Amino acid sequence: MTMNARTQAVAALVLTLSVTGCSGGGRPAPTAPSTTRAASAPNSAGVVAPVPPPSQAGFAYLDPGEVCTRFTAALYSADTRRDGGPDDAYKRAVQFGSGTLAAQSPAARRDGRWATWAEHRAYVDTAVEPFVDALQPADTAISARRTVRVTATPLSEDGWRGWTEYSLLDCTLRRGGPDGSGWRVAGYEIRQAGLR
């Protein structure tokens, strides 16, 4: 599913407003009473600071290409022998994502292929490699785009083999703000390149 730039901007605004407790009507959305006291600042009543995203210990988050590659490899790392469901791979991937992206995990709980994979005790064998996109915009101090090529095949130890999926995954990366100084995947789009 792809969205044009205007739709993405509206979706990001709605998500930002809902995360910060605001509503589109100009009035703050009702919030549950808090038992903690925030540091005093002008007009800070009811505003909660975003929670930092999870991190992988020992990883520096300095190279946007490496962050995109690790995010993608984790996203395609499903293994029915050790995972409780398809969202476990997403939970591993958000170690390389933004706090906002981490909040979207409920959608990852649904994958129609999971039952078939679990029946075969399958895991996904994945290869991720950089893909040079001639139309990729130049990096700025706070934003970058990277594209990787993904080849993913569900396999089982008993010889079962599912369809191999070929995709391109476009990462939008940001750094700074509540997510810290390193690069984080703020959004992604998967473009199917075929099955075999």
How does the average pLDDT of the chain come out, rounded? 77
* Sheet containing 165-175, strands listed edge to edge, beginning at the edge strand earlier in sequence: 123-131, 143-155, 165-175, 183-195
Select, from the ranges 35-44, 129-138, 158-167, the one with the highest average predicted confidence (pLDDT).
158-167
Q: Using 50, 70 and 90 to split pLDDT, how confident is the model at 75?
A: very high
Higher pLDDT, 8 or 78: 78
Predicted confidence at residue 108, as pLDDT, reads 62
Can you tell me whether residue 128 is helix, strand or coil?
Answer: strand
Long-range contacts of 145-151 (CB under 8 A, 24+ apart): 145/170, 145/171, 145/172, 145/173, 146/64, 146/65, 146/67, 146/68, 146/69, 146/170, 146/171, 146/173, 147/68, 147/171, 148/68, 148/69, 148/72, 149/193, 150/72, 150/76, 150/126, 151/126, 151/127
Residue 164 in this model has a pLDDT that exceeds 80: yes
**pLDDT digits over 170-191, tens only?**
999 999 988 889 999 999 999 9
Domains of the chain, first to last:
49-195 (3.10.450.230)
Predicted confidence at residue 118, as pLDDT, reads 93
- Name residue, tokens 């101090």: 141
Residue 57 in this model has a pLDDT that exceeds 50: yes
Length of the chain: 196
